[in-house]
Amino acid sequence: MQLLVEKPAGEISLREVARAADVSHNAPYHHFSDRRGLLKVLAERSMADLVAAVREAIEGAGDPRAAVIEGGGAYIRYAVEHPHGFDVIYDPTVCIPGEPSETMAPLIDELEELLSEASVAAGLDGGTGVIGVWGLVHGLGTLCAAGHFTLDAALAASADALTRMLPR
C-alpha cells in the first residue's frame, strides 16, 4: 500500500515488495498466490477505502439530493487523490470480469448499494438511474485523475450533471 502511493500497480514488483519488507525475494509467495494475488489485495483494500469515503460523504449530507452529489464528489476526490489505488480497483487484469472474485464482489456490491440507496432516495430509477450516476462520477474521476481537467472542474461538472439528472 505504501508503494502504491508512489507508483502504479503495474510498476510494483513482487521482489520490490520483498525488499521493502526486508525479506527474501520469495517470501511473498507464502502470503500471495501470485503477483495477481498481491494486486487483488491492494485492490480490495483500496476499494474498502473508497467505499468508506463515499459512505461518509453520503451520511454527512443533509437531504437526499445533496447525498448523491456529495457521494459522487467523494468518489471523484478519491480517484484524484489516490490515482494508483483507484486504477487497481478497476484493473481488468486484476479482477477478471467473469470471475466471482470472492472478496472483491461484496465490496462492489456495497458500493452499488450505497449509490443505489442514495439515488433512489433522490428520486432516480433503481436500475438505469444508478448506473448513470456511477458511470458519471467514475468517468469524471478517471479522466480527472489522468489530468484531462482539474478537480474543481470535475466536481463542478459532476454537481451540475447530477442536478440535471435528478428529478425536480
Q: Is 23 in the site for DNA (CB under 7 A)?
A: yes
- Residue 79: CA count within 13 A, CB half-sphere: 24
Residue number, 101 or 121, with CB nearest to DNA: 101
Residue number, 48 or 143, with CB nearest to a copy of itself: 143
**Secondary element (H or E) of residue 141:** helix 128-145
b/e per residue 15-49 (b: at least 16 CB within 10 A): eebbeeeeeeeeebeeebeebeebbbbbbbbbbeb
Of 79, 84, 77, 102, residue with least CA distance to 155: 77
Q: Map residues 50-89 to x or -, x wherever contact with DNA holds by CB under 7 A.
A: ----------------------------------------
Long-range contacts, stretch 14-19, CB < 8 angstroms, 24+ apart? 14/38
Which of residues 11, 59, 63, 109 is near a copy of itself by CB under 8 A?
11
Q: Is 157 in the site for a copy of itself (CB under 8 A)?
A: yes
For DNA, which stretch binds (CB under 7 A), given 19-27, 47-55, 83-91, 94-102? 19-27
State the residues that interact with a copy of itself by CB under 8 A.
Answer: 8, 10-11, 83, 87, 90, 92-93, 97-98, 108, 125, 127-129, 131-132, 134-143, 145-149, 153-154, 156-158, 160-161, 164-165
